[in-house]
Amino acid sequence: MSFHCIFMKEDIAYLGADSRKNFTDGSYSDNHQKIFINRNLKMVWTMTGITEYRNINYFYIVNMILNNPKASMLKKVYTIQDLMNPITEKMHQETQEDSYFDLFITTVENGELVTYTIESKNGQADEKTNRRHWGNYLEASGVHTDMRYRVNESDLIELSEIDMTQKVNNLISDVIEANKKCKSNTVGGDIYVATIDNKGNIFTYVNGRNSDFRIM
């Protein structure tokens, strides 16, 4: 698995991820963007775990669901959960290894920042994980999630937006370095960070520099 994270307080959220995509033959590509934005819907989302299965790109499917302006966020969340549970189950049965799908969605509802989380493991949704969060919320999924604690609530409250963005970038860089020592080197590539505030303003960064994200 890869690594992605979210650090949210009442007025701003920071989402970050690496960009490595691994293949079953052990090779990988380092240009696989995992964070996407929709400024019109005031939404940032990041996804890891199973992103492709039997030549179907689930980034595109999830993107289509989330970018539907007519559906409620809860409807979108349950649609994605129902879509991905059978996929993680099939992958688990085929590989006899744990199969995950993880998604963080941060958006603005009635002037308040909220984050919806989805996790599917081996065909089962984690009801403790799949919920709506507001206020201070700090989380990561993928590998080396214990390193998430290098960024804490004090950082979130006290650091400027620029410094906090850089701290999230540095965290992912540290995870990449730590993962190089592992047999399964699943984290790497460019580092993507997006911020969204409670007014819906979104800023995007690649490797610590302000940069546009690819839009699906």
- In this structure, what CATH number is given to the domain that contains residue 204? 3.60.20.10
* H or E element at residue 132: strand 132-134
Could you tell me whether strands 12-17 and 202-206 are parallel, antiparallel, or unpaired per DSSP bridges? unpaired
Could you tell me whether strands 132-134 and 112-121 are parallel, antiparallel, or unpaired per DSSP bridges? antiparallel
Residue 216 domain-assigned? no
Helix (H, G, I), strand (E, B) or coil at 93: helix
Tell me which residue of 197, 158, 190 sits closest to 34, measured CA to CA. Answer: 190
Q: Are 117 and 103 in contact (CB under 8 A)?
A: yes
Residue 215 domain-assigned? no
Confidence at residue 93, expressed as pLDDT on a 0 to 100 scale: 95
Q: Are 80 and 58 in contact (CB under 8 A)?
A: no
Confidence at residue 216, expressed as pLDDT on a 0 to 100 scale: 64
Q: What is the average per-residue pLDDT within 145-161?
A: 96
- Domain holding 113, by residue range, is 3-210
- pTM, rounded to two decimals: 0.94
Q: In the numeric block, which tokens belong to residue 170?
A: 């540095």
pLDDT at 128 over 90: no
Counting residues of the chain whose pLDDT is more than 90, the rounded percentage is 76
Q: How many domains is the chain partitioned into structurally?
A: 1
Q: In the numeric block, which tokens belong to residue 200?
A: 């819906």
Helix (H, G, I), strand (E, B) or coil at 67: coil
Residue 164 domain-assigned? yes
pLDDT band at 129 (very low <50, low <70, confident <90, very high): confident
Q: How far is CA 104 from CA 71, 112, 180, in A?
A: 18, 16, 25
Mean pLDDT over the full length of the chain:
92
pLDDT band at 31 (very low <50, low <70, confident <90, very high): confident
